[in-house]
């Protein structure tokens, strides 16, 4: 059983990003990323801090905007429009999910698609569906694809089953795996909370991607012997013995599933570090495209 080391593979991506940032700087261009958080959800707050910190480490200019939970939709969109017009900013990310009074889709539509490094804007969703490489692909599925490639796992011709149909992971993951070319060419099935015979379908997977947000949902009975399992879940579960009072677990019951797999990602240290690495890479891509270099 191969344990897929996301931390190590993320370091490779960071090395590429760092040298791309240096090359841009040599031409007098500094990539800039704006990260916007509305409200004080602890998990979102910690993600936003990590993104800000990683930008600094890679030489990317970072603008962190932490807004109160009472921020109105108009105020948030006004900030997005200001960032759209800011020449020092090439990437804009509004941390999801926002508080319930915010219409997230409207905020996403307000982002200039050329700066939409999350790949959530309808223009970028369309570009992914159309195999247009100028678009931005959501960071988590892009990171999952990179994990597979870096581990010598070629999806071509294999049956990939994606559990979950979210805008952030499930749907773009399915599109990436079925796209023509490197990292794609798979036969893709998407299953979700309303699927009948879910385990029967997941047991057919050569590559199983779990992105449902339910701790330990995928059990040994869901997995075929020799499958590759990519666990996208980042779930906080209460743990009085842990220093913080919680621990992070994936969507896969690792202990019982891992022995059946040919390869599996751990949580933490699998997909998580890749999401941020691909965000930084997308920011450099946006900067290059906007600057025309
Ligand atoms: N929330 C969970 N994952 C993501 C992500 O990739 N981008 C944003 N903006 N919010 C998220």
CA angle, 159 then 134 then 181, to 5°: 30
Token pair of 218, please? 């995928």
SS3 state at 35: strand
pLDDT at 75: 98
- pTM score > 0.85 for this model? yes
Q: How far is CA 133 from CA 106, 119, 128, 189, 283, in A?
A: 25, 12, 8, 23, 15
Share of the chain above pLDDT 70, in %: 100
Q: Which atom of ligand 1 is nearest to the CA of 275?
A: 6
CA 26 to ligand 1 center in whole angstroms:
31
pLDDT at 276: 98
- pLDDT 10s digits, 183-222: 999 999 999 999 999 999 999 999 999 999 999 999 999 9
Long-range Cβ contact pairs of 166-170 (< 8 A, separation 24 or more):
166/211, 167/120, 167/125, 167/138, 168/96, 168/120, 168/138, 168/140, 169/138, 169/140, 169/141, 169/209, 169/211, 169/232, 170/211
pLDDT at 226: 98
CA 191 to ligand 1 center in whole angstroms:
21
pLDDT at 30: 98
Q: What residues does ligand 1 touch, defined as CB less than 6 Å away?
A: 93-96, 118, 139-140, 168, 275
- pLDDT 10s digits, 259-293: 999 999 999 999 999 999 999 999 999 999 999 99
**Residues 134-138, mean pLDDT to the nearest whole number:** 98
Q: Is the Cβ–Cβ distance between 149 and 196 less than 8 Å?
A: no
pLDDT at 103: 98
pLDDT at 7: 98
Indicate which residue's Cα is closest to atom 2 of ligand 1: 96
| pLDDT-based confidence at residue 4 (cuts at 50, 70, 90) | very high
Query: Active-site residues: which are they?
Result: 51, 95, 118
Output the furthest CA–CA distance in the chain (Å, rounded): 56
CA 200 to ligand 1 center in whole angstroms:
30
Please list, in sequence order, all residues whose beta carbon lies within 8 angstroms of the beta carbon of residue 260, skipping any fewer than 6 positions away: 220, 223, 224, 225, 226, 227
């Amino acid at each position: 059983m191969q344990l897929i080391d996301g931390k190590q593979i993320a370091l490779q991506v960071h090395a590429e990003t760092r040298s791309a940032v240096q090359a841009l700087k040599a031409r007098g261009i500094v990539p800039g990323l704006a990260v916007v958080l509305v409200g004080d959800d602890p998990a979102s707050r910690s993600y936003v801090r990590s993104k800000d910190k990683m930008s600094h480490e890679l030489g990317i200019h970072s603008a962190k905007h932490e807004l109160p939970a009472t921020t109105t939709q108009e105020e948030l969109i006004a900030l997005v429009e200001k960032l759209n017009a800011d020449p020092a900013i090439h990437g804009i990310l509004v941390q999801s999910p926002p508080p319930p009074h915010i219409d997230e889709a409207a905020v996403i539509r307000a982002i200039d698609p050329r700066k939409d490094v999350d790949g959530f804007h309808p223009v970028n969703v369309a570009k992914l569906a159309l195999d247009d490489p100028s678009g931005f692909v959501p960071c988590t599925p892009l990171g999952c694809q990179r994990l597979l490639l870096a581990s010598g796992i070629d999806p071509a011709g294999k049956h990939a089953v994606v559990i979950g149909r979210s805008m952030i992971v499930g749907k773009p993951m399915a599109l990436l795996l079925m796209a023509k070319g490197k990292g794609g060419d798979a036969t893709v099935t998407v299953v979700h909370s309303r699927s009948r015979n879910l385990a029967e379908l997941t047991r057919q997977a050569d590559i199983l991607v779990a992105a449902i947000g339910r701790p330990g949902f995928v059990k040994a009975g869901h997995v075929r012997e020799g499958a590759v399992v990519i666990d996208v879940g980042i779930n906080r579960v209460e743990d009085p013995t842990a220093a913080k009072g919680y621990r992070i677990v994936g969507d896969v019951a690792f202990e019982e599933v891992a022995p059946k797999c040919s390869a599996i990602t751990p949580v933490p240290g699998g997909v998580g570090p890749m999401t941020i690495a691909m965000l930084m890479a997308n920011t450099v891509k946006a900067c290059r495209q906007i600057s025309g270099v």
